[in-house]
Amino acid sequence: MTVSQHSPRFSQYKALSFDCYGTLVDWENGLLQALAPLLSRLPEDHTLRTSTVDALSVFQKAKAGIMQRHPTMLYTAVLRKAYEEIAASLALGVTEHEAEAFSGSIQGWQAFPDTHEALHRLNRHFRLAILSNVDNESFRQTLAGPLHGVHFDVICTAEDIGSYKPAHRNFEYLHSKLHDQFGIDRSQVLHVAQSLVHDHVPAKELGIDSVWISRGKERRSGMGGNLDTLQDRVSFSWRFHSLDQLATAVEEESS
């Protein structure tokens, strides 16, 4: 892992692009709650019940494989298929109602406590954009629910793009939209995300400046990748534990 040596300033950027789930919305707790009906049928000492990281890692592996095989599949369908694959691998049966409930669980995922205020503070300095691995209806539900009242100038979903991050075309699509609508060049866009695998690895490959919001996942993470194994493949200009810390750093620089 490298941290930028050229001491960039926030003032050189005109837009912040955000990953949503994991960065703004707590998808790990949301997914664990949604997985609970399935995992509760395992023995109490089973690793998927005793380790949340292991449970999330199993889900992430199933989800990533589905996304790679079916890049245009809607996110809700990806969730459902991942749930069914995990159940099959554990020799557990799944009811239609249970699979459907899991596929729609995204509407119940909650924003991190600092998300709303931090986004409003950052919006005083930058245009805000979303680059998310979901479908349009799922993000609409999130925007009407946990992110209600937050304004984004550009919203780019996997459904719109036809592929999932870490595909490079997702970032290229975002930058094209920002340039076409606001005249903002890619060098003026700072990407903000928690996931190393989905966001910071492709950001380094594409030469995109980024901020890591670690959300307490400094080392082992079930969803976003592990820093110990990915440190040579990621590079970010700043690293903060929370979005609130990023907003504070921006305000301190501009004061």
Which are the contacts of 174, defined by CB distance < 8 A and separation ≥ 6?
A: 17, 129, 131, 154, 156, 189
- Bridge partners, 190 (sequence order): 16
Tokens 């999932």 sit at which residue?
Answer: 164
Separate counts of helices (H) and strands (E) for the chain: 12, 8
Residue 45 is a catalytic residue: no
The closest of 63, 24, 17, 22 to 172, measured between CA atoms, is 17
Q: Is 1 exposed, middle or buried (0-12, 13-18, 19+ CB in 10 A)?
A: middle
Query: Is the Cβ–Cβ distance between 158 and 181 less than 8 Å?
Result: no
- Beta strand 154-157 pairing with 189-193: unpaired
Q: Which of 19, 26, 135, 199 is catalytic?
A: 19
Which are the contacts of 238, defined by CB distance < 8 A and separation ≥ 6?
A: 211, 212, 246, 249
Q: Which residues are catalytic?
A: 19
